[in-house]
Amino acid sequence: MKAKYQRITRYLPTAVFIAASLPVAAQATVFVTDGDGNANVVNIAAWNNTATTITANQNAGLSTNPNPVVNVASGITITGDAGYTSVLSITAANYTVTNAGSLSGTNHHGILSNTNFTLTNSGTLSGGTTPGQSGVRSTLATITNNANSFISGTDDAINFSAAGGSITNFGTINGDSGASSSDGIRGRNNIVINNNTNYNFFSPISGGSITGTQYGIYADANVTVNNHNLATITAINEDAIHLDGDGGTITNNGTLTALGSSSSSDGIRGRDNLTVNNNNNYGVSLLSDPVSGGAINAAHNGIYADNYLTVTNQTRGSIIGGQNGIDAGYGLDLTNDGAITGTSVNGVHAGDGSYIVNNHDGVIYGSSNGIDIDTSVINGSSNGIDIDTSEINGDSTTSIFNHGVINADGGDGVDGDSQVQIVTNDGYIYGESSAITLWGGNDEINLNDGSKIDGDIDMGNSGNDVLNFGQGQFTGEDCQNIVWGDVYGVNTINKHNGGYAFINDTDEGFEVEAINGTDEGFEVETDTINVHSGGLYINADVYSNNGEDNTEIHVYRGGEIGGTGLWDANVRGQSFKI
């Protein structure tokens, strides 16, 4: 028996069409597809604020049409039948839904589906005003939310319960209108999310917005998130993006913001093997200078991940955490050309086996320990880079390359651990406590042409620790390789290549300001000094690590050593000035 107000049209696709410009036949509370397996096309005028639910069920499974359609026209508002839990109920696969009206229930999901479907939204999908409702709740779907369009819910704006699916957003997705656990988007493994830019011709004018009370985006493993220029992803209480499984790639050209607690709210939180690209935005031409960059701002950590995190932060990129800029386990691979800030703790906090390069324009700031590399600046009110011991399989060596500035206002520029650290510097490193502290392992510090170490070096004296000076200053030049501070716990100091390197103030003929004060009272603690070429000037007292044996100093052909202070040393060689 056919429904009272259905009209049967044979040989058309199964569809429900709701259009504002056509006359009303009647106002039933449920619209279903044709029971004969053919299309049931219903045209409804002025269907506003009616308690109606659309059921898309492929005629209870009898229809063989492969491409069923539901269309809701502009100007129509439907609020859902009291006997259903959604305004649009989809129980058969492969529906294509186009909404330009408003599907907004008080106690209903906007769309509820137990199967895959495709949605293009140019209107409003709302999960109502009472807790527990989503704008879209489905096993999975392919969703496009256009500019000036809205998807909202009191319990997740969009919720996928199965792996996969994709969301492309130019409009607003808002999960901040109900429960404290409500997310902007909640997905599973392999979901792809594009939060896009809206353009006027070639100029960006706005971006998509994704907001959640708990998380902006919550998903599991191997997730892809692309947040484009002017697009925003915001969490009110927790993480802007929270990935609860391994893998995943996040590319940010817009803004990620986590507004919650300083103890738990991260810009990005992931597990192992996460990749984050915080990129530049360019003008009309990619050949021009970047005009802006991705911004990650969080109350707790800018980025937090377990192990093997890879981060690329480009010149206009900014990563700011209320505690750490980046907090990672072992195997961090960081390339920084932008700004990384840890407001109250560390610029970068990482485990062993990490590889950190801070390039020309990079800035890393932490309130304890800080690093700034390659005409870059890394500042830290705790630690610029803080390396912790972790249980790790394989190589536990951490490599740090600084070509710019590392600045720690309250701690160490580089703070190591009991494993092996290799620090290579041709920039500037400052730490209020020490410029570089390396606790254990066979550590190595390489100070090359352009290196300026403003603070003490403490290599721990618990392994075979080596301090290498490379090329230095030539007569008449500004100082190119100098340490202003004490040097402790070094087994061997080597000078290679041409030019002069200095520990504290310089000899006559070189004009170098001793930033940390005078050259009086400084100490160099090392067992062996080898000058292979060039010159090494030490303006400090020199003694061995055990304080009993003399330091052995070897000056080879082409090398020169000189300086001031009290040296408990045996000097062997061809050229020295003391």
Chain segment 357-414, per-residue pLDDT in tens: 988 777 777 777 554 222 344 455 566 666 665 433 345 688 899 887 777 888 888 9
The strand ranges marked E within 35-108 are 48-50, 53-56, 69-72, 77-78, 86-90, 95-99, 102-104
Quote the pLDDT of residue 1: 36
Dihedral of CA atoms 418, 450, 555, 561 in degrees, nearest 10, equals: -110
**Residues near 513 by Cβ (< 8 Å), separated by ≥ 6?**
none
pTM confidence score:
0.85
Paired strand residues for 69? 15, 96
The token pair at 48 is: 């506003």
Pick the residue with more confidence: 242 or 52? Answer: 242
Q: Do the Cβ atoms of 380 and 408 come closer than 8 Å? A: yes
Q: Residue 364: what are its φ and ψ, rounded to 5°?
A: -125, 120
The residues, ordered by sequence, that sit 6+ positions from 201 with a Cβ below 8 Å of its Cβ are none
Question: Where is average pLDDT lowest: 55-64, 103-112, 126-135, 403-412?
Answer: 55-64
Q: Report d(CA 503, CA 524) in Å as an integer.
A: 8
Q: Among 145-159, 182-196, 273-287, which stretch is predicted with the lowest mean pLDDT?
A: 273-287
In the structure, what pLDDT confidence band is assigned to residue 309 with cuts at 50, 70 and 90?
A: very high
Separation CA 426–CA 95 (nearest Å): 61
Mean of per-residue pLDDT scores for the chain = 82
CB 553 within 8 A of CB 578: no
Helices (H) and strands (E) in the chain, counts: 0, 66
Contact 348, 364 (CB under 8 A): yes
Q: Which of 202-206, 297-301, 387-391 has the highest mean pLDDT?
A: 297-301
Q: How confident is the model at residue 515 (pLDDT cuts 50, 70, 90)?
A: very low
Predicted pLDDT at 405: 76
Q: What is the pLDDT of residues 49-98, one digit of tens each?
A: 567 777 777 655 556 677 788 888 888 888 888 888 898 888 888 888 99
Query: Is the pLDDT score of 496 beyond 90?
Result: yes
| Among 24-33, 234-243, 425-434, 506-515, the least confident range | 506-515
State phi, psi for 75 to the nearest 5 degrees: 95, -5
Four-CA torsion 476, 480, 484, 485, nearest 10 degrees:
-130
Is the pLDDT at 300 greater than 90? The verdict is yes
- pLDDT tens sequence across 556-570: 988 999 998 899 999
Q: Which residue has the higher pLDDT, 85 or 211?
A: 211
Q: Which of 128-132, 304-308, 411-415, 520-524 has the lowest mean pLDDT?
A: 128-132
* Between residues 54 and 301, the one the model is more confident about: 301
Region 24-29: mean pLDDT is 42
Pairing of strands 290-293, 280-282: antiparallel
Residue 555 confidence (pLDDT) above 90: yes
- Rounded CA separation 6/231 (Å): 44
- Burial (CB < 10 A; 0-12, 13-18, 19+), residue 544, is middle
- Name 151's Cβ contacts closer than 8 Å, sequence gap at least 6: 110, 121, 124, 125, 126, 135, 136, 143, 145, 157, 158, 171, 172, 173, 174
Nearest to 252 by CA among 226, 283, 285, 217: 226
Dist. CA 472–CA 321, nearest whole Å: 37
Total number of residues shown for the chain: 578
| H/E run at residue 337 | none
Share of the chain above pLDDT 90, in %: 51
> How many whole angstroms separate alpha carbon 132 and alpha carbon 105?
12
- Per the structure block, which two tokens stand in for 86? 């959604």
Residue 259: pLDDT band with limits 50, 70, 90: very high
Q: Could you read off the pLDDT of 311-320 as tens digits, one per residue?
A: 999 999 999 9
